Amino acid sequence: MRNKEHYAEWCKEYRDKHKADKKALYEARKAAGLCIYCGELAVPDRTLCAKHAARHKAYQQKRRPANNEYWKKRYADNPRKSKDANLKNSYGISIEEYEIMFEKQGGRCAICGKHQSELTKRLFVDHDHKTGQVRGLLCANCNAGLGHFYDDRGIMFHAIVYIAHKGDVQIRPYEGGQ
């Protein structure tokens, strides 16, 4: 009979190999457009077949209330840590870097100059959607405005000309590009 240490080591090796084999199988199925669990044809743009997608959705809906309560409590226990994690995941900056930008801008929107105290929401991190480069902090209206103009300088220029001429001047249609 084998001793416990030998068995535990063998079991660990088997588990690790099985886990690696399973991951490789999942990746191969995913690359082929098949369900990662059963190998059936997956729903377009998904990694699961219709049966497993339905099961997953039902599971998520059942768990959602518990998950929401968990995250609300976690945020309430330490909002600074949650905000830091959100900034790192979304923009690659820490909360300290956010605060440095906030101080450099004097607590004001980089475009319209409204102070944080005049706003109902915090200043948003503005970033270039093509490069991911963080540009500064903006109020909700200025951030949305840039988004509606697709960060395109040409469209913004045409908007400025339009406002300057109060709409009295006909402008050729915008061709696109920066």
CATH of the domain at 157: 3.40.1800.10
Q: Which of 23, 49, 76 is the last residue of a domain?
A: 76
- Are the C-beta atoms of residues 24 and 17 closer than 8 Å to each other? no
Q: Which of 26, 42, 76 is the last residue of a domain?
A: 76
Same domain, 123 and 155: yes
Same domain, 98 and 69: no
Say how far apart CA 50 and CA 47 lie, in whole Å. Answer: 10
Evaluate whether residue 59 is within a structural domain.
yes
Beta bridge partners of 138: 124
Distance separating alpha carbons of residues 43 and 29, to the nearest angstrom: 13
CA nearest neighbour of 132 among 145, 113, 148, 151: 151
Q: State which of 36, 51, 76 marks the end of a domain.
A: 76
- Whether residue 83 is contained in a domain is answered as no
Q: What is the pLDDT of residues 16-67, one digit of tens each?
A: 777 778 888 888 888 888 998 888 898 888 888 999 999 988 988 888 888 8
Q: 86: closest CA among 95, 73, 74?
A: 95
**Are 99 and 67 within one domain?**
no
Asked if the structure places residue 176 within a domain, the reply is no
Residue bearing tokens 């240490």: 5
DSSP lists the bridge partners of residue 137 as: 125
- Using alpha carbons, select from 106, 97, 81, 95 the residue that is nearest to residue 135: 97
* Structural domain for 138, as ranges: 92-164
CA separation for the pair 36, 55 (Å, rounded): 14
Residue 82 covered by a domain: no
Domain membership of residue 174 (yes or no) is no
Phi, psi torsion values for 34, nearest 5 degrees: -110, 160
Inter-axis angle of helices 95-104 and 79-91, nearest 10? 80
Q: 115 and 66, same structural domain?
A: no
Q: Identify whether residues 97 and 158 lie together within a single domain.
A: yes
pTM for the predicted model, two decimal places: 0.58
Domain tally, the chain:
2
Which neighbouring-strand residues pair with 115? 108
Query: What are the tens digits of pLDDT across the range 105-155?
Result: 999 999 999 999 999 999 999 998 888 899 999 999 999 999 899 888 999
